[in-house]
Amino acid sequence: MSLDFLYLNEPDMIRAGVLDMKKCVQSMDDLFHLMGKGDYIMGGPSENHHGMMLWFPLEKRTEKMPVAGPDRRFMAMPAYVGGRFNVCGNKWYGSNIENQKKGLPRSILTVMLNDADTGAPLALLSANLLSSMRTGAIPGVAVKYLQKSGAHVLGVIGAGVISRSCLLAIRETMTALDTVLVYDLFPEKAQKFAEEMAKELSLDIRAVSDMKDAVVGCDAVSVAASGLAPVDIPDEWLEPGKVIIATGAAMFSRESYMKHRVVFDNWKMHKDWLDELRDDPERLLGVNAGHPSAKLLLMVAKGEVDADHMVSFGDVLADPALGRQSDGDVFLFLTGGMGTEDVAWGYDVYQEAVKQGIGQKLTLWDRPHWA
Ligand SMILES: NC(=O)c1ccc[n+]([C@@H]2O[C@H](COP(=O)([O-])OP(=O)(O)OC[C@H]3O[C@@H](n4cnc5c(N)ncnc54)[C@H](O)[C@@H]3O)[C@@H](O)[C@H]2O)c1
């Protein structure tokens, strides 16, 4: 029996709606509800591993083998997502900061979707846009459920690609949003971001030159800075009612981690990182330097912070008692990214492509040679 699957290149993905943030936020909303019911599997025996990474050696080992470098890795992120998706998939990417000198993005991503029953490939997707969109959509869903009533001012820290999609998503869910204050280490980047996004979204979007101004007075703050310098947010900036969503590296004080509500995209995944590196916890900061949970995990490993009150977002959706109880609650939402997100949003875009007849059919075989 012949076996075909669909190949969607980047223009195909765009035509099939990968940039539709409203739909992407809904897809991620559906996903977290499923995760709250346990209707998903990620890699490894814990079923919650972020992914399997190729680590290159620090020293040259053979003539051609790559050596370690900034943001240099390969990563496979397999996942099963249930419910209306009921599909398996794997995001597979390579990343090398040197790519930028060759006119390539830092990381180059694909997603393979497979039939959960037979394992047959369904689609191979160009996934750079897919991944950026699903990453941005998560703060949108977090804000939808965790914002205080009447929230209307957003702070943005880090004026890069991911912050753009975070803003697009939060605009969908913070219905009263009227003001956005943007801070970047490089003021010209914040300025450019503010000008471009103000034009696109018709909102009051301004660059600020002090990080404090993108936090204090804001109802929600989205942090997606690349970690060139630490984003360290002191507790006195966290007024009642605020929600901070950290997609990139962000650090808070021990007092903040203890005092406020800490919600992870998936605590079990972050705990997996902790368990892997428990014997050498200082490596958490090295290995996971760009991860928003690195400092907190290190504190948990040293026994400085209790992990008992750490919850996953899916659990919050399943049990609203874990969510906002009053307009005074402060939330720290830490997201490390998951293969389930790529599979869920990839599946929705693939479905749309099938509906519209977009993409190129590839044949794996007409008849399996050795079956
Ligand atoms: N959680 C996830 O699922 C996920 C997925 C993709 C990317 N990320 C993370 O998101 C972050 C942003 O990625 P990007 O592709 O937008 O990067 P980018 O390079 O396009 O933009 C990052 C911006 O942050 C700024 N910056 C760096 N340090 C800063 C600081 N201390 N204060 C203020 N601004 C600072 C840089 O100047 C830059 O403008 C990265 O840390 C990346 O690892 C997370």
The 10s digit of each residue's pLDDT in 229-277 is 789 999 999 999 999 999 988 999 999 999 999 999 999 999 998 888 7
* pLDDT tens per residue across span 276-326: 877 776 666 665 556 888 889 989 988 999 888 899 999 999 999 999 999
**CA–centroid distance, residue 199 to ligand 1 (Å):** 22
- Whether residue 160 sits in one domain with residue 61: no
Give exposure, 35-58, as e/b (b: 16+ Cβ within 10 Å).
bbeebbbbbeeeebbbbeeeeeee
Q: Do residues 295 and 344 share a domain?
A: no
Percent of the chain with pLDDT over 70: 97
Separation between Cα atoms, residue 268 and residue 246, nearest integer Å:
17
Whole-angstrom CA distances from 249 to 50, 223, 246 are 16, 8, 7
d(CA 68, CA 46): 28
CA-wise closest residue to 8 among 103, 112, 86: 112
Residue 229 CA, closest ligand 1 atom number: 31
Q: Where are the beta strands (DSSP E) in 195-312?
A: 204-207, 220-223, 232-233, 243-246, 251-252, 261-264, 311-312
Radius of gyration of the chain (CA): 21
Whether residue 40 is predicted with pLDDT greater than 90 in this model: the reply is yes
The verdict on 93 and 124 lying in the same domain is yes
Q: What average pLDDT score do residues 22-27 get?
A: 98
The pLDDT mean for the chain works out to 94
Residue 255 and residue 236: Cα distance in Å, rounded? 10
Q: Which long-range contacts (CB under 8 A, 24 or more apart) does 322-329 make?
A: 322/263, 323/145, 323/146, 324/145, 324/146, 324/147, 324/148, 327/148, 327/149, 327/240, 327/241, 328/240, 328/241, 329/148, 329/240, 329/241, 329/260, 329/261
The proportion of the chain whose per-residue pLDDT surpasses 90, expressed as a percent, equals 85
Domain that holds residue 61: 3-131+339-365
Looking at the chain, how many residues does it have? 371
Let me know if residue 68 belongs to a domain.
yes
Q: Is there an atom of ligand 1 within 6 Å of 135 CB?
A: yes
E strand intervals along the chain = 3-8, 40-42, 52-54, 73-81, 87-95, 107-115, 121-126, 153-157, 179-183, 204-207, 220-223, 232-233, 243-246, 251-252, 261-264, 311-312, 331-334, 360-365
Over 60: is that where the pLDDT of 188 sits? yes
Instruction: Tell the residue number behind the tokens 């605590």, with chain if given.
Output: 267
Query: Which ligand 1 atom minimizes the distance to the CA of 335?
Result: 1
Rounded distance from Cα 131 to ligand 1 centre (Å): 14
What distance in angstroms lies between residue 247's CA and the mean position of ligand 1's atoms? 8
Query: Does the structure show a pLDDT above 60 at 347?
Result: yes
pLDDT for 218: 98
Q: Whose CA is nearest to atom 21 of ligand 1?
A: 160
In a domain, 36, yes or no: yes
Indicate if the pLDDT at residue 367 is higher than 60.
yes
Q: How far is the CA of 351 from the centre of ligand 1 (A)?
A: 31
Task: Kindly report, residue by residue over 113-163, the tens digit of the pLDDT.
Answer: 999 999 999 999 999 999 999 999 999 999 999 999 999 999 999 999 999
* Distances in whole angstroms, Cα of residue 27 to Cα of each of 52, 99, 202, 257, 282: 25, 31, 25, 29, 36
Q: What is the CATH number of the domain that holds 173?
A: 3.40.50.720
Say if residue 101 is in the same domain as residue 122: yes
At 215-224, the pLDDT tens digits run 999 999 999 9
Q: From ligand 1's centre to the CA of 273, what distance in Å?
A: 21
In-domain check, residue 24: yes
Please tell me whether residues 119 and 217 are part of one structural domain: no
For residue 141, what pLDDT is reported? 98
Burial of 74 (0-12, 13-18, 19+ CB in 10 A): middle
| Same domain membership, residue 243 and residue 221 | yes
Q: Are residues 152 and 271 in the same domain?
A: yes
CB of 247 closer than 6 angstroms to any ligand 1 atom: yes
Domain match, 199 and 314 both:
yes
Query: Is 82 within the bounds of a domain?
Result: yes
**Cα gap 91→132, rounded to integer Å:** 13
Structure tokens at 325: 């109880």
- Is position 288 within any domain? yes
Q: How many domains does the chain have?
A: 2
Residue 324 CA to ligand 1 centre (angstroms) = 27
CB 209 near ligand 1, within 6 Å? no
Ligand 1: which atom is nearest the Cα of residue 341? Answer: 3
Distance CA 24, CA 173 (A): 12
| Pair (188, 216) in one structural domain | yes
Task: Examine residue 272 and state whether it is found in any structural domain, yes or no.
Answer: yes
Least confidently predicted of 65-74, 86-95, 234-243: 65-74
Tell me the β-bridge partners of 148.
none
Q: Quick check: CB of 155 below 6 Å from ligand 1?
A: no
In a domain, 370, yes or no: no
Distance 198 CA to ligand 1 centre (A): 20
Q: How far is the CA of 367 from the centre of ligand 1 (A)?
A: 47
337 lines ligand 1 (CB under 6 A): yes
Say if ligand 1 is within 6 A of residue 173 CB: no
Cα 245 from Cα 296, distance rounded (Å): 14
Pocket test for ligand 1, best of 162, 168, 184, 221 (most atoms within 8 A of CB): 162
Cβ-based neighbour number of residue 218 at 10 Å: 23
162 lines ligand 1 (CB under 6 A): yes
> Which pLDDT value is given to residue 228?
74
Q: Which two tokens stand for residue 329?
A: 């609650």
Residue nearest to atom 20 of ligand 1 (CA): 160
Q: If you measure from the C-alpha of residue 341 to the centroid of ligand 1, how many angstroms do you get, rounded to a whole number?
A: 19
State whether 142 and 123 are in the same domain.
no
- Whether 67 and 161 map to the same domain: the answer is no
Q: Does position 208 have pLDDT exceeding 90, yes or no? A: yes
pLDDT over 80 at 168, yes or no:
yes
Q: Number of helices (H) and strands (E), helices first, in the chain?
A: 11, 18
Per-residue confidence (pLDDT) for residue 365, from 0 to 100: 97
Distance CA 171, CA 201 (A): 8
CB 85 within 8 A of CB 114: no
CB contact set of 190 (below 8 Å; sequence gap of 6+): 159, 182, 183, 184, 207, 208, 209
191 shares its domain with 84 = no
Q: What is the CATH number of the domain that holds 52?
A: 3.30.1780.10
Overall average pLDDT of the 192-214 stretch: 97
Closest CA to 248 of 148, 159, 315: 159
Closest C-alpha residue for ligand 1 atom 2: 337
Ligand 1 and 227: CB distance under 6 A: yes
The answer to whether 130 touches 353, Cβ cutoff 8 Å, is no
Query: What spacing in Å lies between the alpha carbon of 159 and ligand 1's midpoint?
Result: 8
